């Protein structure tokens, strides 16, 4: 089993990711990922030149925090939106989850994984798919078949994560509540971030 470090930029939040045998790596160009990057004030670090965010999807049981859990903060762009986790100490994005233990996954954002200069290609191999390309800031070739294949491959993880004894989740309590109370953006805040 290979353990990879995960941490925020300033080192307050630290942990490990157990490198899974099955995972997906995608670059997402959706407006919500860009709004999150803008909220954190770190667009140049998080997004590529076309507005994409590199994300590695794993099951939450594969990540453990060893220090700084009290610095984890949570944002929801809308009342029912994804839980977007970040380190409040330095606004480093950590990952995205849903507020439901029945759909057990976390999309880890590349900035918390590239410790010591390691590239994601070295750690996780090449990108499996580029998704939501219609929202990119510049033309990106759609990869519908790759995206479908990556989604189907990742879906095979979810039953293992869902059934049997409930696996640990570094972001949710045993009853499925977020460990940090989510801040929900107002409609005007979200509109401002999406149009920036």
What is the band of 27 on the pLDDT scale with cuts at 50, 70, 90? very high
Q: What is the pLDDT of residue 153?
A: 66
Q: What is the pLDDT of residue 158?
A: 59
Mean pLDDT value across residues 106-123 = 87
Least confident span in 35-49, 64-78, 102-116, 121-135: 102-116
Tell me if residue 23 falls in helix, strand or coil: coil
Q: What is the pLDDT of residue 6?
A: 93
Q: What is the pLDDT of residue 29?
A: 95
| Contact (Cβ atoms closer than 8 angstroms) between residue 59 and residue 157 | yes
Residues 50-105: tens digit of each pLDDT: 999 999 988 888 899 999 999 999 999 999 999 999 999 999 999 999 876 667 78
Mean pLDDT value across residues 4-8 = 93
Whole-angstrom distance, CA of residue 98 vs CA of residue 81: 8
User: 135: alpha, beta or left, given left = phi > 0 and alpha = psi -120 to 50?
Assistant: alpha
| Residues 112, 81, 131: CA angle, nearest 5 degrees | 60
User: 68: alpha, beta or left, given left = phi > 0 and alpha = psi -120 to 50?
Assistant: left
| Contact (Cβ atoms closer than 8 angstroms) between residue 183 and residue 193 | no
Share of the chain above pLDDT 90, in %: 55
Tell me if residue 131 falls in helix, strand or coil: strand
Strand-pairing partners, residue 184, are 76
Mean pLDDT value across residues 24-48 = 95
**For residue 164, pLDDT beyond 50:** no
Tokens of 88: 């409040």
CA-atom Rg of the chain in angstroms: 16
Global pTM exceeds 0.85: yes
Q: What is the pLDDT of residue 165?
A: 44
pLDDT, the chain, mean: 86
- 82-109: b or e for each residue (b if 16 or more CB lie within 10 Å)? bbbbbbbbebbbbbbbbbebeebbbbbb
């Amino acid at each position: 089993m290979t353990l990879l470090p995960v941490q925020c930029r300033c080192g307050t939040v630290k942990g490990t990711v157990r490198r899974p045998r099955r995972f997906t790596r995608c670059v997402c160009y959706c407006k919500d990922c860009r709004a999150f990057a803008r909220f954190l004030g770190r667009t140049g670090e998080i997004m590529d030149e076309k507005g994409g965010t590199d994300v590695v999807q794993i099951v939450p049981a594969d990540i453990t925090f060893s220090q700084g859990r009290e610095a984890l903060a949570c944002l929801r762009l809308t009342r029912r939106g994804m839980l977007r986790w970040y380190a409040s100490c330095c606004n480093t994005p950590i990952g995205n989850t849903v507020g439901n233990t029945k759909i057990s996954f976390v999309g880890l954002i590349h900035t918390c994984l590239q410790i010591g200069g390691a590239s994601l290609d070295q750690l996780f191999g090449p990108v499996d798919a580029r998704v939501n390309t219609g929202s990119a800031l510049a033309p990106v070739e759609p990869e519908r078949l790759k995206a479908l294949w990556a989604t189907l491959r990742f879906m095979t993880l979810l039953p293992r994560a869902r059934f049997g004894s409930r696996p640990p989740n570094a972001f949710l309590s045993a009853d499925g509540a977020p460990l940090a109370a989510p801040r929900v953006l107002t409609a005007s805040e979200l509109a401002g971030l999406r149009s920036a």
